[in-house]
């Protein structure tokens, strides 16, 4: 609702909302809806903590094991929590008919994509911003490092970029929520793989040259996924 | 139903013949490898099936793009045929690789980057069929399928870059190997078996795709008839 009225307001002002303004309007709508209920973020957050606790039992995360598996545990947690958020943010649009409203708005379809992708990214980043200090506290490792945060940001961008596209697709299928992780995990594997490698390398204090290869791969796939999703999003929301 | 084209019948016969010849070349004609022994013979089919498996995924991505541009269902049928045939061939590749790995690496499966990415590639295309199954509207099914093959086609190349990016124990056949990688060297007779294997599986691949496309158009007809009856 919010987005429609805002879209209309902007249209009244300038005839046609600019790309940037329209994207911002969609992000604002998502954030406003979320900050009223905290449905999505609280679910993702509690889920993330549960995953970490399960890992604690499953892997017996003592000091020695922890050093080598921290990045894997973190990225598994982010990926699982990410699908939860992606599913929810898209099915809300679909169930309440908001998607039709968005499609009727006099804006380019890619605006909808970027709006949704960026708000999904923001939700992921908020969850990560809470999980990192909690993990640091629980396991007595310092994860507050600028380079690690950078890798996590890059990984989340790629994940949200391809995840938003695929969740738009899975929301329109019969199996819906069940299908998203099956579609998303194998395709997003280059991003996840290189993120785990890069952050794992940072955590054990490897040399920069060793981290460079996965980091390059991560950046390349970020760009590819954003570009492809941008190009094909039209076909995914077409009615 | 349309009558079977003569060329297709010829291709059927040719497939059987080249498969037989290729089997002979791999099992009898090619010399036994010095280090690995008889089990190395699996390699001729391993490469043949891997080649058509990956070729099909690339073709499917191209057909997907063509469908999105033209909206012609013929491209969709082509795409499904390519993915379906290739998924089976790629699965055979993994199984054959496992058979070779048992004596060579002393294990059926290891989490080597090359093997892991091959498994992921296979899973992408299994997910593709699950996606298609979940959509009833044929037009939407085709559109989503095309988008997904495109994404899969982009994600799959990592299978081939990975061998150069990360340390792997998988032997390198084509291209230059790093110093720490195993490089297979083939004698003349081995090369004959190797290249004929590639050729044979390409013929079989084309034949199967052709059949699958014809099956696809029959499926479409059945779907339309069902709709007519229910109305």
Compute the nearest-CA separation of B140 from chain A (Å).
8
Assess B129–A contact: CB distance below 8 Å, yes or no: no
* pLDDT tens, per residue, chain A with 239 residues: 444 444 444 444 555 678 899 999 999 999 998 899 888 899 999 999 999 989 888 888 777 778 788 899 999 999 999 999 999 888 888 888 888 888 888 888 889 999 999 999 999 999 999 999 998 888 888 888 889 999 999 999 999 999 999 999 999 999 888 999 999 999 998 899 889 989 998 988 888 888 888 899 899 999 999 999 999 999 998 77
Q: What does the pLDDT read at residue A1?
A: 42
The yes/no answer to whether this complex scores an ipTM above 0.90 is no
Compute the nearest-CA separation of B28 from chain A (Å).
39
When pLDDT is averaged across residues B30-58 and rounded to a whole number, the result is: 85
With beta carbons under 8 A apart, name residues in chain A contacting B121.
Answer: 186
Q: What does the pLDDT read at residue B192?
A: 86
Q: What does the pLDDT read at residue B108?
A: 87
When pLDDT is averaged across residues B89-114 and rounded to a whole number, the result is: 88
Assess B69–A contact: CB distance below 8 Å, yes or no: no
Compare CB distances from B150 to A170, A197, A228 and report the shortest one's residue: A228
Q: How far apart are CA A211 and CA A27, in angstroms?
A: 33
With beta carbons under 8 A apart, name residues in chain B contacting A190.
Answer: 155, 158
Q: How far apart are CA B177 and CA B164, in angstroms?
A: 8
Compare CB distances from A235 to B68, B130, B158 and report the shortest one's residue: B68
**Among B191, B184, B169, which residue's Cα sits nearest to residue B111?**
B169
Q: How far apart are CA B149 and CA B172, in angstroms?
A: 27
**Proportion of chain B above pLDDT 70, given as a percent:** 87
Q: What does the pLDDT read at residue B179?
A: 44
Q: What is the DSSP string of chain B?
A: -PPPPHHHHHHHHHHHHHHHHHHHIIIIISPPBTTTBGGGGHHHHHHHHHHHHHHHHHHHHHHHHHHHHH--HHHHHHHHHHHHHHHHHHHHHHHHHHHHHHHHHSSS----HHHHHHHHHHHHHHHHHHHHHT--SHHHHHHHHHHHHHHHHHHTTHHHHHHHHS---SPB-SSPPPTTS-B----HHHHHHHHHHHHHHHHHHHHHHHHHHHHHHHHHHHHHHHHHHH-
Q: What does the pLDDT read at residue A89?
A: 87
Assess B58–A contact: CB distance below 8 Å, yes or no: no
Q: Angle B224-B147-A155 (CA atoms, 0-180°, nearest 5)?
A: 150
What is the pTM for the complete model shown?
0.87
CB A151 within 8 A of CB A198: yes
Q: What does the pLDDT read at residue B130?
A: 94
Q: What does the pLDDT read at residue A11?
A: 47
Compute the nearest-CA separation of B87 from chain A (Å).
15
Q: How far apart are CA A180 and CA A168, in angstroms?
A: 9
- For B148-203, how does the pLDDT look when each residue is reduced to its tens digit (9 = 90+)? 999 998 877 665 666 556 666 677 665 544 444 455 667 778 888 889 999 999 99
Mutant choice from A72, A168, A172, A189 vs B, greatest count of B C-beta within 10 A: A189
Residues 6 or more apart from A25 whose CB is under 8 A from it?
Answer: A3, A6, A7, A10, A17, A115
CB B93 within 8 A of CB B118: yes
Q: What does the pLDDT read at residue A175?
A: 86
- 């993990």: which residue's tokens? A135
Compute the nearest-CA separation of A189 from chain B (Å).
8
**Token pair listed for A231:** 């190009």
Q: What does the pLDDT read at residue A58?
A: 86
Q: What does the pLDDT read at residue A97?
A: 83
Compare CB distances from B127 to A186, A232, A236 and report the shortest one's residue: A186
Q: What does the pLDDT read at residue A65?
A: 78
Q: What does the pLDDT read at residue A28?
A: 93
Does the pLDDT at position B135 exceed 60?
yes
Domain ranges, ordered by start, for chain A:
2-9+17-237
């Amino acid at each position: 609702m919010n987005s429609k009225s805002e879209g209309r307001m902007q249209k009244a002002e300038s005839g046609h909302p600019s790309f940037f303004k329209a994207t911002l309007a969609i992000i604002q709508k998502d954030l406003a809806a979320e900050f009223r209920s905290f449905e999505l973020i609280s679910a993702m957050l509690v889920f993330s903590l549960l995953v970490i606790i399960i890992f604690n039992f499953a892997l017996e995360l003592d000091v020695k094991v922890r050093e080598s598996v921290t990045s894997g545990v973190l990225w598994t947690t982010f990926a699982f929590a990410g699908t939860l958020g992606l599913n929810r943010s898209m099915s809300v649009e679909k169930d309440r008919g908001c998607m039709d409203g968005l499609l009727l708005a006099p804006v380019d379809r890619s605006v909808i994509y970027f709006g949704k992708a960026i708000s999904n990214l923001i939700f992921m980043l908020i969850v990560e911003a809470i999980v990192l200090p909690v993990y640091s506290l629980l396991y007595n490792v310092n994860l507050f490092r600028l380079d690690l945060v950078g890798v996590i940001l890059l990984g989340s961008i790629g994940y949200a970029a391809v995840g938003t596209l695929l969740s738009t697709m899975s929301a329109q299928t019969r199996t819906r929520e069940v299908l998203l992780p099956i579609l998303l995990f194998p395709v997003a594997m280059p991003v996840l793989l290189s993120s785990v490698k890069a952050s794992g390398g940072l955590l054990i204090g490897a040399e920069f040259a060793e981290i460079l290869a996965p980091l390059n791969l991560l950046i390349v796939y970020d760009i590819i996924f954003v570009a492809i999703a941008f190009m094909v999003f039209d076909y995914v929301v077409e009615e | 139903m349309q009558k079977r084209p003569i060329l297709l019948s010829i291709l059927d016969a040719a497939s059987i013949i080249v498969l037989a010849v290729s089997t002979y070349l791999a099992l009898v004609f090619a010399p036994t490898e010095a280090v690995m022994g008889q089990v190395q013979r699996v390699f001729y089919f391993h490469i043949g099936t891997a080649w058509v498996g990956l070729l099909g995924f690339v073709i499917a991505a191209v057909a997907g793009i063509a469908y999105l541009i033209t909206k012609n269902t013929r491209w969709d049928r082509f795409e499904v045929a390519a993915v379906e045939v290739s998924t089976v061939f790629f699965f055979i590749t993994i199984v054959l690789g496992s058979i070779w790995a048992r004596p060579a690496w002393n294990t059926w499966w290891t989490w080597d980057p090359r093997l892991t990415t091959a498994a992921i590639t296979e899973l992408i295309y299994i997910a593709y069929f699950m996606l298609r199954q979940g959509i009833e509207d044929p037009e939407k099914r085709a559109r989503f399928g095309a988008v997904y093959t495109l994404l899969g086609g982009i994600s799959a190349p990592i299978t081939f870059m990975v061998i150069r990016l990360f340390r792997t124990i998988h032997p390198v056949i084509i291209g230059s190997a790093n110093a720490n990688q195993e490089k297979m060297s083939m004698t003349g007779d081995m090369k004959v078996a190797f290249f004929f294997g590639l050729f044979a599986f390409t013929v079989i691949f084309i034949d199967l795709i052709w059949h699958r496309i014809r099956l696809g158009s029959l499926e479409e007809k059945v779907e339309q008839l069902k709709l007519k009856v229910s109305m």
